[in-house]
């Protein structure tokens, strides 16, 4: 009899995990979602084989149970599992971006001899819903596994075997370490981006011209502020302790910058930006991190009718898809700039080659 995976929550992440499992294993995949239309869509797209109309119905059949739900929902549902019949040896995991609160709630499972191993695939998309699910979504991404200190090593290996179709790089760490690091490289930057937007919005009340000037680079560097307010409200509350520590450290950092400016210390100001540039430039380019990458390619274009259709035509000829296109600057008698956004690093590099063959100058920022 085929082994069975049960996916709870059939959005982008849950759907992509289901597809990755199916790609690697001949298993039966069950699905559950509170939104009936998502459940039907998942079946029609063959993301899942069968729909379950309750969590209890699915867990009693499953060898692997994946909670692909918001952390606040996952913590509620975990407590319900102790009342359900489950297969012996079943493994439960989740995909939440915070771990401490989930682990605290999952303690009730260990008392019943049920194995829970936290997980966080650090990849995503600017699209949502099961219709955007892709088996390769997690390819080359880091997939954090957070087993408890007394977790069975064999169960951790089994979970990674279940998920090997993701083609992700697995890293093990504690729930506390995960929340601290995710707070620093993902959660806190979203706070900073939202704060910058608030600052400019307040400035606009006094000088409406600011919104026109912010339409270019400022809009780009604060893109992550457009993420789901519901999701980020929950993340801030769930990772409260780590974020409060990070905010304190940030205020100290800004105090140091304030002092550098007040003292007009040219050498130290230069060093501050030089060290930041060196560290940032040394970060991996092709690895996926906690914040979804923007694969942007900038193309210089002449002010000539039909140039945009020429660029897109070249890409279409080579079956290279773009997810977004934006004209950054076009004025008479000067070069304009197109910003093309791609799904992956490979698509970007291929586009760069083909556009170069047609004498287009391209670059990344």
The confidence score (pLDDT) of residue 140 equals 81
> How far are the Cα atoms of 10, 12, 45, 355 from residue 52, in angstroms, in the given order?
12, 18, 16, 48
Q: Where are the beta strands (DSSP E) in 13-130?
A: 28-32, 50-51, 64-67, 91-94, 115-121
CA dist., res. 223 & res. 105, Å (int): 34
The confidence score (pLDDT) of residue 127 equals 67
Looking at residue 353, which CATH number applies to its domain?
3.30.70.260
* SS3 of the chain: helix, strand, coil, percent, to 5: 50, 15, 30
CA dist., res. 24 & res. 26, Å (int): 7
Question: Quick one: 254 and 324 in the same domain?
Answer: no
**Quick check: is 286 in a domain?**
no
Question: Quick one: 123 and 237 in the same domain?
Answer: no
Looking at residue 275, which CATH number applies to its domain?
1.10.3660.10
**Quick check: is 290 in a domain?**
no
Of 173, 193, 211, the residue at which a domain comes to its end is 173
Question: Quick one: 273 and 304 in the same domain?
Answer: no
Question: Quick one: 122 and 225 in the same domain?
Answer: no
Of 281, 311, 327, the residue at which a domain comes to its end is 281
Domain residue limits at 356 = 295-363
- Which pairs with CB-CB distance under 8 Å and at least 24 residues apart come from 360-364? 360/299, 360/300, 360/301, 360/311, 361/299, 361/300, 362/297, 362/298, 362/299, 362/300, 363/297, 363/298, 364/296, 364/297, 364/298
Residue ranges, the chain, pLDDT below 70: 125-127, 216, 285-294, 329-335, 365
CA dist., res. 289 & res. 182, Å (int): 10
| Model pTM score | 0.74
The confidence score (pLDDT) of residue 291 equals 57
Question: Quick one: 27 and 163 in the same domain?
Answer: yes
CA dist., res. 200 & res. 318, Å (int): 41
Question: Quick one: 139 and 24 in the same domain?
Answer: yes
CA dist., res. 248 & res. 242, Å (int): 10
**Quick check: is 289 in a domain?**
no
Q: Which of 163, 162, 151, 70 is nearest to 115 (CA)?
A: 151
Q: What is the pLDDT of residues 76-122, one digit of tens each?
A: 999 888 889 899 889 999 999 999 999 888 888 877 778 999 999 98
Total domains in the fold of the chain: 3
The confidence score (pLDDT) of residue 288 equals 56
**Quick check: is 332 in a domain?**
yes
Question: Quick one: 42 and 66 in the same domain?
Answer: yes
Question: Quick one: 25 and 144 in the same domain?
Answer: yes
């Amino acid at each position: 009899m085929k082994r069975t995976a049960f996916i709870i929550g059939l959005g982008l992440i849950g759907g992509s995990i289901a597809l990755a499992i199916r790609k690697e294993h001949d298993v039966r995949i069950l699905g559950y979602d509170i939104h009936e239309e998502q459940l039907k869509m998942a079946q029609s797209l063959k993301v899942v084989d069968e729909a379950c109309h309750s969590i209890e119905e699915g867990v009693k059949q499953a060898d692997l149970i994946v909670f692909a739900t918001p952390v606040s929902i996952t913590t509620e549902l975990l407590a319900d599992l102790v009342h359900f019949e489950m297969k012996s040896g079943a493994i439960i995991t989740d995909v939440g971006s915070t771990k401490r609160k989930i682990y605290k709630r999952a303690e009730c499972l260990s008392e019943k001899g049920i194995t829970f191993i936290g997980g966080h695939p650090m990849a995503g998309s600017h699209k949502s819903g099961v219709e955007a699910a892709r088996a390769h979504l997690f390819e080359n991404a880091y997939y954090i596994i957070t087993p408890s200190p007394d977790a069975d090593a064999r169960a951790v290996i089994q979970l990674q075997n279940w998920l090997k179709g993701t083609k992700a790089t697995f890293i093990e760490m504690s729930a506390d370490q995960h929340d601290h690091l995710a707070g620093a490289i993902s959660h806190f930057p979203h706070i900073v981006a939202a704060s910058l937007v608030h600052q400019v919005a307040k400035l606009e009340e006094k000088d409406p011209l600011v919104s026109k000037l912010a339409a270019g680079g400022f809009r780009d560097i604060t893109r992550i502020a457009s993420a789901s307010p519901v999701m980020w409200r929950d993340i801030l509350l769930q990772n409260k302790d780590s974020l409060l520590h990070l905010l304190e450290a940030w205020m100290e950092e800004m105090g140091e910058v304030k002092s550098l400016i007040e003292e007009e210390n040219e050498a130290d100001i230069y060093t501050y930006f030089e060290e930041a540039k060196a560290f940032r430039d040394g970060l991996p380019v092709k690895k996926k991190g906690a914040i979804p990458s923007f694969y942007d390619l900038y193309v210089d274009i002449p002010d000539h009718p039909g140039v945009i259709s020429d660029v897109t035509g070249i890409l279409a000829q080579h079956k290279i898809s773009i997810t977004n296109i934006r004209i950054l600057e076009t004025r008479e008698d000067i070069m304009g700039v197109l910003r093309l956004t791609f799904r992956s690093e490979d698509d970007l590099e291929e586009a760069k080659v083909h556009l170069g063959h047609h004498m287009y100058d391209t670059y990344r920022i």
